[in-house]
């Protein structure tokens, strides 16, 4: 199996978290003699071939090619996120290699006509679906003045499109809607412009390297916005508690991802308590985050694919995934793809709000936001 990771650069925190989760999965199955491969009728040990792209799309382009044409991997796993996945999608399609896309959820990967049969989104929903819970929260709480800042990339651009569409359909037009480069870290001037619109809620759609300086800028400014939302505190709570501070993070809204949310009905892989205990020991850490779970979840989907596919052809892998879609529930949720496009339709994130519980980070989760309620 081949994959990429980023040990440095803009996406390193999230990428390394996912990579650790995937490596942990390989370690666990190999300790049990490997994964069962239906096509060979026996267990096979996992060999993970991984290259460090250092958050560079140029480097990733070369390395995706290398994994396919030089290493001849049987299964190809993308690096974290839409930016680093974007260059792998056409390479995999050109080489007729199924790309197991961990978290590259940009809409453009799944809207080609005819659909690309060589991609499957394993561990997060297609990003165009994420804002359904956020718009539900906004509308059901009668929030009328919404200001939005979003990164100009497939991941957050798709979220902005959905959020604005959902709000406008209900008669709410954002008072501010502004794209910024994905590399943006200075938000001072933007906050001045946002404040001038007197918003009831400020929504910043970015990666963790955007969210952290944004929240720091809000804290350092004279502005006290009634409600503030960012994406990544719900995926990397320990990092945000350290860099923002528990008291400053309190009150912030986010998408609440596992392990903040607890999945019931798990029928494949470890329970959350088992995963937490074993992963913390394996990685030498005191807590887990969503990216660790996402990487592990990708491994489980690879495992189920090999246990289901009748041959080692890439088309057989894709057919296998279609077969078990909607039937597998892991600690991340129910895996359910659009069988035509490969986009993930399961694994929704509700809205959560952080609190300061005597110096410890707590969260209130609005579970019903994924159902269109309060």
357: exposed, middle or buried (C-beta count within 10 Å: 0-12, 13-18, 19+)? exposed
- Could you tell me if 98 and 168 lie in one domain? no
- Could you tell me if 182 and 75 lie in one domain? no
* 251 inside domain: no
- Could you tell me if 121 and 270 lie in one domain? yes
Range of the domain at 285: 2-127+262-335
DSSP state of 144: -
* 205 inside domain: yes
- Could you tell me if 114 and 70 lie in one domain? yes
Domain count, the chain: 2
- Could you tell me if 20 and 107 lie in one domain? yes
Token pair in block for residue 104: 């590259």
Q: Is the pLDDT of residue 330 over 90?
A: yes
pLDDT in tens, 3-19: 999 999 999 999 999 99
* 349 inside domain: no
Domain with 282 in it: what CATH number?
3.40.50.2300
* 243 inside domain: no
Q: Could you say which of 319, 335, 351 is where a domain stops?
A: 335
- Could you tell me if 210 and 268 lie in one domain? no
Q: Rounded to two decimals, what is the model's pTM?
A: 0.94
* 117 inside domain: yes
* 345 inside domain: no
- Could you tell me if 146 and 108 lie in one domain? no
Q: Is the pLDDT of residue 371 over 80?
A: no
* 358 inside domain: no
* 230 inside domain: no
pLDDT at site 16 = 98
- Could you tell me if 164 and 99 lie in one domain? no
- Could you tell me if 198 and 220 lie in one domain? yes
Q: Vertex 288, ends 333 and 24: CA angle to 5°? A: 80
- Could you tell me if 282 and 165 lie in one domain? no
- Could you tell me if 208 and 221 lie in one domain? yes
Q: Band of the pLDDT at 374, cuts 50, 70, 90?
A: very low
- Could you tell me if 50 and 106 lie in one domain? yes
pLDDT in tens, 66-109: 999 999 999 999 999 999 999 999 999 999 999 999 999 999 99
Helix intervals (H) in the chain: 12-31, 57-69, 81-86, 88-94, 131-140, 154-169, 188-195, 208-220, 237-244, 246-249, 272-283, 290-308, 314-324
């Amino acid at each position: 199996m081949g994959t990429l990771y980023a040990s440095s650069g803009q996406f390193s925190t999230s990428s390394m978290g996912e990579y650790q989760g995937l490596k942990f999965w390989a370690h666990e199955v190999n300790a049990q003699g490997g994964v069962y491969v239906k096509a060979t009728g026996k267990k096979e040990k996992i060999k993970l071939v991984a290259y460090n792209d250092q958050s560079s799309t140029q480097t990733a382009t070369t390395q995706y090619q290398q994994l396919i044409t030089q290493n001849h991997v049987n299964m190809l796993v993308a690096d974290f996120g839409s930016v680093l996945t974007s260059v792998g999608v056409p390479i995999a399609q050109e080489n007729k290699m199924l790309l197991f896309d961990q978290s590259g959820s940009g809409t453009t990967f799944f809207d080609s006509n005819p659909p690309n049969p060589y991609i499957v989104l394993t561990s997060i929903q297609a990003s165009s679906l994420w804002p359904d819970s956020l718009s539900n929260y906004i509308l059901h709480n009668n929030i009328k003045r919404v200001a939005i800042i979003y990164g100009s990339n497939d991941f957050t651009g798709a979220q902005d499109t959905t959020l604005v569409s959902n709000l406008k359909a209900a008669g709410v037009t954002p008072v501010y809607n502004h794209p910024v480069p994905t590399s943006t870290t200075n938000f001072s001037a933007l906050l001045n412009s946002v404040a001038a619109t007197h918003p009831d809620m400020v929504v910043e759609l970015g990666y963790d390297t955007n969210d952290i300086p944004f929240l720091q800028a809000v804290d350092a400014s004279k502005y006290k916005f009634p409600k503030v939302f960012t994406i990544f505190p719900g995926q990397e709570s320990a990092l945000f508690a350290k860099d923002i501070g528990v008291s400053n993070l309190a009150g912030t809204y986010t998408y609440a991802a596992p392990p903040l949310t607890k999945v019931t009905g798990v029928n494949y892989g470890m329970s959350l308590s088992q995963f937490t205990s074993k992963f913390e020991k394996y990685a030498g850490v005191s807590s887990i985050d969503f990216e660790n779970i996402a990487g592990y979840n990708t491994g489980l989907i690879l495992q189920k694919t090999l246990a289901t596919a009748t041959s080692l052809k890439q088309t057989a892998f894709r057919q296998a995934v279609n077969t078990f879609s909607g039937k597998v529930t892991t600690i991340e949720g129910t895996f359910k793809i659009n069988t035509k496009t490969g986009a993930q339709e399961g694994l929704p994130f509700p809205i959560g709000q952080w609190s300061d519980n005597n110096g410890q980070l707590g969260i209130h989760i609005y579970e019903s936001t994924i159902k269109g309620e309060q």
